[in-house]
Chains A and B, each alone.
Chain A
Amino acid sequence: MRKLLDFLYRRRTFAIFLGLEIVCAWLIVSFNQRQNADFLNSSNALSARISTGSQNVSDYFDLIEINEQLMLENELLQARLNANLAFADGLSIPSETYLVKGARVINNTFRRSTNFLTILAGQEQGISPGMGVISTAGVVGQVKSVSNRYATVYSMLHPQMLVSSTVKRTDTNCSVQWDQESYDKASLKFVPRHIGLKVGDTIVTSGFNSVFPPNINVGVVSDLNLEDHMTFYEAKIKLTVDFTSLPSVFVVVHEMKLEKDSVESL
């Protein structure tokens, strides 16, 4: 025992080096598990506050863009309002209810090989891990972890995000996953070869996993490849959300998620 301790003391630098690297490896692995309430991420109060500060500065330079986006949002809402008034007398079908909560983006990366957003909304606003995040243009990501007033969100540009979606024209189920190459493209998976997929087809969310409401835009098919031996199309989509300018997002709160999940697990 003494000899072992002596040995460790003589090699203490190497022992400390090895010990710290093992701790780092453990941190990397445990962070990669999907959702957790870890404090070692950007929703941590101190780091989020500093991010808010630097975002406040850069927001001044983006005011024109933010105003333009708000105007577009208003137009869209106005159009929806008109449509709703027209159908107000129609038959009502009970549908799942989704609430959306607006949140400001205080940190957003899109050029890394794993990307995250930090948003200014947390537990106090009723946000919890696993909720979907959208913008007016389409799917943005999914909440990874929350603190009291901030939340860290997996961007759509993260290889672990797999969005259950459908081809709008044919109602075919498929999945969308980012392939780490560029911030405006993702790959479309599991579209079987008998479906006549075309360039220009719109891909929307399916609404099956109760993270996103159905019919939220994901992207538009831009590249197609089908060879004789392949069971599924090899396709790329252009994402509808522009991740380079994303001043605010909406968090989707699915009121009956718990009930739905418990029925499905029976």
Chain B
Amino acid sequence: MNRVNIREQVSNFIALFLIQLPLLYRITLWDRAFGFFYVGFLVLLPFRISRSYLLVAGFLTGLVVDVFSNTPGIHAGACVFVMYIRDLWLKIVVDDTEELTNINYISIKKTGFTLFVFPLVLIHHLIIFLVENGGLHLFGLLTSKTILSSLFSFVIIFVLNYLIVPKSRRQ
């Protein structure tokens, strides 16, 4: 079992969460794709943390984002849900979790990273847009928003992870 890489977690926190706050809803692609890439910080928290702490971390992070976007409860609720299913999903996607502590594109491979992060981001975005929309009306707009935004967020999370993870382990 590896030790938690503090430097990586702190960089994740700064790059994914703190940078997100002033940019929330300010970068939009094709009128549809909003990047909520802060969820990457939550998803990539170390694997060994107890699930109760993960839930609380999700709630607090979501609440801070909510304050910025005038949606108290929506981001927080989506984050708590994602944090609840995160470890279950990781065990399904990644075969060997014995040695796993730090989650990044090296420790779980690039395919594993995609399979693990993208569905969680998709669920997170779906919950947010569904609740904000207040129902299933304007279904086409809702679906395109969710899919494009998730792709956008996932690309940002992947690229930032590629930049953050220390060079020494990149061989």
Contact = CB atoms under 8 A, between A and B. Distances in A.
A78 interface: no
B162 to A, nearest CB: 25
Interface residues of A, number: 35
Interface of B: 21-23, 25-26, 28, 31-32, 34, 51-52, 55-56, 58-59, 62-63, 66-74, 76-77, 80-81, 84, 129, 131-134, 137-138, 141
A51 interface: yes
Nearest to A15: B52
A21 B77 contact: yes
Contact of A114 (B84, B132, B137): B132
B77 A40 contact: no
A113 B77 contact: no
A13 interface: yes
Q: Among the interface residues A23, A28, A38, A51, which one has the most CB atoms of the partner chain B within 10 A?
A: A28
A59 to B, nearest CB: 12
Given A16-B55, A112-B25, A25 B138 contact: no
21 contacts: A12-B52, A13-B55, A16-B52, A16-B56, A17-B55, A20-B56, A23-B59, A25-B73, A27-B72, A27-B73, A28-B71, A28-B74, A31-B71, A50-B22, A51-B22, A54-B22, A112-B34, A114-B71, A116-B70, A159-B134, A181-B138
B134 A113 contact: yes
Given A12-B52, A113-B129, A20 B59 contact: yes
A25 B77 CA distance: 8
Interface string A40-73: 1110100100110110001000000000000000
A26 interface: yes
Contacts of A23: 59, 73, 76
A63 B25 CA distance: 21
Closest 8 CB pairs of A and B: A27-B73, A24-B77, A54-B22, A28-B73, A24-B73, A27-B72, A40-B72, A116-B70
A35 interface: no
A242 B25 CA distance: 18
